[in-house]
Amino acid sequence: MKRVCLFVFLFLAVPRLEPLPPVSAQPAIDVVENLHETLLLVMKEGNQIGYQGRYDRLAPVITAGFDMPFIAKIVLGRFWEIFDSKQRSKFVETFSRLSIATYAANFDTYSGERFKLISEKEVSGGRVLVQTRLIKSDGGQVELDYLLHRVGSQWRIINVVADGVSDLALKRADYTTFLKSNGLDSLLIKLNEKIVQYSN
């Protein structure tokens, strides 16, 4: 198998008979665990459902679990402000498809892997860091840390750090370097070629 690799309410002191509703319908940790459960599912059924089946299973989970517009803005750096709304939308759409395709291609077979939750803690900016491990069948481990922020009432993943390496930082360096010598159209072509490559 290929791998990659409380907020505070200020309110009048009015007695309440019912407990306050939760801040988020889905806690940050649940977003990560939902992703992991889906990854294990597609891995176990990988050969049976094929690439497209894995893509279709993962698409709604990744779309709901990741803040793709925010991630796209960060990876494009200063170029985000240069592009117009149509160009931004096109990049977010292509980048989202590539992200799903990457997971569908890399998590394709199962050989006894499992995910283990290590911790969940608040970090600066009201964000949450969920630390996990991918434990391989041979006992080897990959550290997978997820940084999430809140979008409305929901938590969304904005970065994945594998064994200390930030996926967000890698993509930002790669994409901005490419854009310095090439336009957005060339970058979109490159990303679409990668999607096709993954699907074959």
For residue 87, pLDDT over 90 is answered with yes
| Cα–Cα distance measured from residue 79 to residue 107, given in angstroms and rounded to the nearest whole number | 31
**pLDDT in the model for residue 6:** 29
For residue 168, pLDDT over 50 is answered with yes
| Cα–Cα distance measured from residue 172 to residue 139, given in angstroms and rounded to the nearest whole number | 32
Q: CB–CB of 120/127 below 8 Å?
A: no
| Cα–Cα distance measured from residue 166 to residue 124, given in angstroms and rounded to the nearest whole number | 17
Question: Which pLDDT tens digit goes with each residue over 15-29?
Answer: 333 333 444 457 999
Q: Which long-range contacts (CB under 8 A, 24 or more apart) does 46-52 make?
A: 46/107, 46/108, 46/109, 46/110, 47/108, 47/109, 51/104, 51/105, 51/108, 51/198, 51/199, 52/199
Average the pLDDT over 32-52 and give the result. Answer: 97
Q: What is the DSSP letter of 66?
A: B
Q: Which CATH number fits the domain 28-199, given the four candidates 3.30.1360.20, 1.10.3720.10, 3.30.420.40, 3.10.450.710?
A: 3.10.450.710
Share of the chain above pLDDT 90, in %: 86
Which residues contact residue 152 at a Cβ distance below 8 angstroms, ignoring those fewer than 6 apart? none
Q: Where are the domains of the chain?
A: 28-199
Q: What is the DSSP letter of 26?
A: S
Question: Which pLDDT tens digit goes with each residue over 104-151?
Answer: 999 999 999 999 999 999 999 999 999 999 999 999 999 999 999 999
- Tokens, residue 135: 């434990």
Q: Which of 166, 164, 131, 165 is nearest to 146 (CA)?
A: 131
Look up the pTM and report it. 0.86
